[in-house]
Amino acid sequence: MSVSERYRQAWESYWRNTSDAPGDAIWDADPSLSAALHLDLLAPHADPSLPIVDLGCGNGTQTRYLAARFARALGVDLSRAAVERARRADPAGTAEFRQLSLTDAAGVADLARRLGDANVYLRAVIHQSDAPDRRPVARAVARLLGRRGRGFVAELTAESRAVLAELAAGPGGPPPKLRRVLDHGLRPADAADKEVPEVLAEAGLEILAEGPTALAQTEQWPDGSRVELPARWFVVARA
């Protein structure tokens, strides 16, 4: 199967209309607020000598951080515009970037053959994927892990919808970064809380550890405090 043309075009349009400036995407938080915290949770389970694949890498901010901590880091994204931005932001070539739909089973299998067993970083991808694509995304994680890899998955919870609704209900309407997400037809926190562990299990993944967290955003509340969206994290392996 493949992602819908609507979904693909939504992401291409979003990234074409997002600048190269750090933090211009609402989720483009500094790695110290994102991947660094997540690696503390993944590290007890993962072999850093294996490659790590950042699925849904966007402009590659987190991928570049991961590249300094694993033998090899590859960022994968559906959007060609996102991959182009990621490459521009990494002129030293500290990481690799590739356009690939996670619903492309043949493409994912080819990547898995090329990499061998790999660790996976998946931040906030399942919750905003079209419903038919969530299980293929989870299967892509399982395929890339192989037997030795470990995955870190973080997904927004239903509670985050209320936070986003409050943010959008300000006197001026949604702030610019959130408005751009909504204007491009992207749907944050669209998956039910119980769906994420269900699709992981159906993909043949075992949850080794899990817990609540919050995903830092680059948007602010009127008082200047950082917007953080409720989420849940999982460390997974092939069952």
Q: What angle, 0 to 180 degrees and rounded to 10, lies between the N-to-C axes of helices 105-115 and 134-145?
A: 20
Distance CA 165, CA 221 (A): 12
Tens digits of residue pLDDT in 35-58: 999 999 999 999 999 999 999 999
* Pairwise CA distance, residues 181 & 187, whole Å: 8
Q: What is the structure's pLDDT at 157?
A: 95
For residue 235, the model assigns a pLDDT of 98
Question: What Å distances lie between residue 33 and 89, 130, 168, 213, CA to CA?
Answer: 19, 27, 23, 11
Q: Is 101 exposed, middle or buried (0-12, 13-18, 19+ CB in 10 A)?
A: buried
- What's residue 1's pLDDT? 46
The 8-class DSSP code of residue 28 comes to -
Q: Which two tokens stand for residue 74?
A: 């590859």
Per-residue confidence (pLDDT) for residue 127, from 0 to 100: 92
Q: What is the pLDDT along the chain (239 residues), one digit of tens a residue?
A: 466 788 899 999 999 999 999 999 999 999 999 999 999 999 999 999 999 999 999 999 999 999 999 999 999 999 999 999 999 999 999 999 999 999 999 999 999 999 999 999 999 999 989 999 999 999 999 999 999 999 999 999 999 999 999 999 988 899 999 999 999 988 888 888 999 999 999 999 999 999 999 999 999 999 999 999 999 999 999 99
CA nearest 131: which of 76, 196, 185, 75?
Answer: 196
The pLDDT, as a whole number, for residue 94 is: 97
